[in-house]
Amino acid sequence: MVTLAPPTSTENGKFSATPTVPKVSTSTAPPNLQGATTPTEQQLLDNWLHIQSINLCRHAKSLRPFTKDEFGTGPTAPSEGHIEAVNRLIDKYRTQLIENARWVDAAAQAARREPTSDRLRLLLERKQKVGDQVLYLEGIWDFYFDMFVQRLSAFGERLRAIDRIAVGCYEKVYVGLGTAKPMPSLLPFSYADSGFSPYTIRRSVPMQKLRHNPNLFPLIVIPQHRLDNVWALSSVLHEVSHNLQADLGLWEIMPAQIYQRLTTEGQLPSDVAQVWARWHKEMMADMFALVLGGPAAVESLMDVVGRAPASTVQFNPMSAHPTPYLRTLINLILLKRLGFAQMAADLARVWQRLYPRITANDIPPAFSKTFYPAAEMVVDTMVFQPYPQFGNKSMAQIVDFGPAQLDIIQQAGRRLANGEDPGTIPVRLMISAARYALDSRLAKPQTITDNFYRILGRR
């Protein structure tokens, strides 16, 4: 009897470096089934055996690398770098998968020559093993295909605008660093989905949709309804900022810095300082978003977290997100530090009118009594203190925002409302310009949206 080596695989279709050999039964082999069937039955069996390897090999080969032009050739298309990164991941599995498909073909040919029970069972086992591997890779292939093909749809122009805003944020930060640090070659890539708020998936984070392979490049996921409301896209700045934090290595140091300063200089109890340290990721992304995009980041935050009191004021010390009611006030502290004291005071009063009654059942007195001095110290720690990751500068030094930038935003907002080119304004500030145009009733919402994408698309 011919012995056939099996494909290399593990559970759930994953690939293994060590082959696992399915054992053929050592019991007495059954008689050759070829002579026990009618010619018609034998032909049907032979046809079925023949087509198994054809189907599987063609399925495996269909999971081909993407070409650089199949998702368009204009500015909305994915970059060659993003496509090449995906193709490298696909090729990592595809080469071995096609090789393993040949073992199914070998088993099918052997079963056609001598269709014994052992050979038929071996074919079925191999077919399932390699079939699971095909489905494993197909999940990865489908994820990127669905994401890239959006660039051929009506979303393409809008997603390209989000990409440009993200790139503008990276350029501003990396150019402003006090040391030569190369910007990552694969910058955030955006795609549309359903849901309430944008979110991000950071570089190198294992993803379930990628069969737990590391994410190749930062992904910014935008609910499609947000793309219609460009003045609400400041939350995109927040998500981009999470990736900046990770790429610059700030996540590793910031919680310790916050905790140490609050417990030493601030003399806060350890349990209170631990809560503030636990909030570091979301607070830091908020701070980045505000200095990168301007006051619209605070107003957009209020849009998102301004919900029923039961949701907005309820304190949870174990959450990674600051209590929404307090989160807005933390951002207003930074807005004041940036030179907008009156605006910060006005927004604080508006916010407190929405939530006029905060009780001890909502926020513990031990936390609320120390909130303002602690928040001011935390904002200072994150934004105004130098760090090696910033080239021994502070965030406020590498991303400057003040009254001069607000003047640029307002001027751009007026031009945006009129459909005019806003000039040399950085792309990342266009969200605040759209918010200013809407708040000032300078144009209808749809006009602002249309002009926003048209202007960003041609710049």
pLDDT of residue 239: 96
Q: What's the first-to-final CA gap in the chain, in angstroms?
A: 70
pLDDT of 65 reads 95
pLDDT-derived band of residue 137, with 50, 70 and 90 as boundaries?
very high
Q: Which residues of 124-134 are buried (b: 16+ CB within 10 A; e: fewer)?
A: ebbbebbbebb
- Report helix, strand or coil for 412: helix
Could you report the per-residue pLDDT of 219-258, keeping only the tens digit for each?
Answer: 999 998 889 999 999 999 999 999 999 999 998 899 999 9
Report how far residue 298's alpha carbon sits from residue 49's, in angstroms, rounded to the nearest whole number: 65
Asked whether the predicted pLDDT for residue 29 surpasses 80, the reply is no
pLDDT category at 179 given cuts 50, 70, 90 is confident
pLDDT tens digits for range 109-130 = 999 999 999 999 999 999 999 9
Q: 295 — phi, psi (to 5°)?
A: -60, -25
The pair of three-digit structure tokens given for residue 328, joined into one six-digit string:
């807005």
pLDDT of residue 63: 93
Is pLDDT of 450 > 90?
yes
In a domain, 128, yes or no: yes
pLDDT confidence tier of residue 424, bands split at 50, 70 and 90: confident
Q: Give 15's pLDDT tier (boundaries 50, 70, 90).
A: low
pLDDT given for residue 38 in this prediction: 86
- What is the pLDDT at residue 11? 43
Is residue 387 included in any domain, yes or no?
Answer: yes
Take residue 390 and report the two structure tokens written for it: 């910033």
Say yes or no to pLDDT of 432 above 80.
Answer: yes
Q: What is the reported pLDDT for 459?
A: 57
Regarding whether 408 and 277 lie in a shared domain, the answer is yes
pLDDT at 384: 98
Task: Choose one of 104, 135, 152: the last residue of a domain.
Answer: 152
Do both 201 and 176 map to the same domain?
A: yes
Which residues form the domain of 136? Answer: 11-152
pLDDT(100) > 60: yes
DSSP 139-155: HHHHHHHHHHHGGGSTT
In this structure, the answer to whether residues 275 and 423 fall within a common structural domain is: yes
In this predicted model, which residue has the larger pLDDT, 455 or 11? 455
The CB-side HSE value for 17 (13 A sphere, CA atoms) comes to 0
Same domain assignment for residues 147 and 161? no
Average pLDDT over residues 167-189: 92
Q: Which two structure tokens, joined as six digits, stand for 183?
A: 């910007």
In this predicted model, what pLDDT tens digit does every residue of 365-388 receive, in sequence order? Answer: 999 999 999 999 999 999 999 999
Tokens of 110: 């052997």
Let me know whether 214 and 231 are in one domain: yes
pLDDT of residue 14: 56
Q: Is 25 exposed, middle or buried (0-12, 13-18, 19+ CB in 10 A)?
A: exposed
Question: Please, which pLDDT band fits residue 78 given cuts at 50, 70 and 90?
Answer: very high
Q: How many domains does the chain have?
A: 2
Q: Is 168 within 8 Å of 381 (Cβ atoms)?
A: no
Q: Last residue of some domain: 113, 129, 152?
A: 152
Summarize pLDDT for 356-370 with one digit per residue, the tens. Answer: 999 999 999 999 999
What pLDDT band is residue 423 in, cutting at 50, 70 and 90?
A: confident
Q: Of 152, 171, 195, which residue sits at a domain end?
A: 152
Are the beta carbons of 66 and 86 closer than 8 angstroms?
A: yes
Angle at 143 between CA 142 and CA 147, to 5 degrees: 110
pLDDT confidence of residue 196: 82
Domain co-membership, 164 together with 267 = yes
Which residue in the block uniquely carries the two structure tokens 């500068």?
393
